[in-house]
Homo-oligomer: A and B are copies of this chain.
Amino acid sequence: MWHKNKKIQKEKYLVKRRRYFHMLIINERLPENAIIVEEPEIADLLSHFLKIEKVINKRGYKIYISSDVLVSTHGVGGPSTALILEELIENGVRKIIRYGTAGTKNEKVKLGSYFIPTGVSRYISNSMYQRTRNDMIYSLYPDLELAFSIYEKLKENNIDVSYGEVFQSDDFYAEEEINEIVDMETGTLFLISKLKNVKSASVLIIANYRGKWINYEEIYKRDFPIILNAILT
């Protein structure tokens, strides 16, 4: 199948490319585990739980590196996330959890509860097409064991958690027609993880209900040890 050959060629191309130019943001060996978050404010907050050995701050991305896990921002949207994912994986990351927030118009999903995406719907025309450029719909899903482990650990801590489909949005201010739980980066994470053969999952705090935001910083602080535990075991 041509898209497989293409992927193989691309891998070769990447290997060759590394010889003569540096990546945009990161050019050093990284730990195998990564927690990725949208904004620098949250990366800063989570970094206080780790023994940070190095910080990278370039072109708007901020990466806090400890010995066994790093926390990186991914910015807003699929293209911004794809860029940093490629660099993380190219430099050694093998397991990734997106820890973020999501919005909902659905009154059944409780504000402040967690949602674990087991699938990602999107418009047929979307930012993820360019990565594969063919006539196929790639299925986007987390690693079954990693996703179930996060689910189980949250439950064990009596934290409200559910699972199902999110919708990947490419335009924050053009989401009026989306009735599902909305996320802007989980699909890109799942797509690139599959193509690069890396394990990933996403765990989202329902933080925004029809434009009303909760104070989610306290939730990050309370639960980050659980998420860290899920990725490190």
Contact = CB atoms under 8 A, between A and B. Distances in A.
Which of A40, A129, A130: most chain B Cβ within 10 A? A130
B77 A78 contact: yes
A130 B174 contact: yes
A80 B82 contact: no
Q: How many copies does the complex hold?
A: 6
Contacts of A27: none
A136 interface: yes
Contacts of A4: 179
A15 interface: no
Q: Which 7 A-B pairs have the closest CB atoms?
A: A77-B79, A119-B139, A125-B129, A127-B127, A119-B141, A76-B80, A21-B211
Interface of A: 1-2, 4, 10, 13, 17, 20-21, 24, 38-41, 58-60, 73, 75-80, 82-83, 86, 116, 118-131, 133, 135-142, 144, 147-148, 151, 163, 165, 169-179, 184, 194, 211-212
Contacts of A184: 79
Which of A1, A39, A128, A129: most chain B Cβ within 10 A? A129
Given A118-B141, A130-B170, 9 more contacts: A2-B177, A75-B77, A77-B79, A79-B171, A82-B174, A123-B136, A124-B124, A130-B174, A148-B148
29 contacts: A1-B177, A10-B176, A13-B176, A21-B211, A24-B172, A38-B60, A60-B75, A75-B76, A76-B80, A77-B79, A78-B79, A79-B184, A82-B171, A82-B174, A83-B172, A116-B144, A119-B119, A120-B139, A121-B136, A125-B126, A125-B135, A126-B127, A126-B137, A127-B127, A130-B169, A130-B174, A131-B174, A133-B135, A139-B165
Contacts of A135: 123-125, 133
A211 B17 contact: yes
Which of A41, A78, A119, A163: most chain B Cβ within 10 A? A119
Contacts of A179: 1, 4
B77 A59 contact: no
Contacts of A128: 170-171
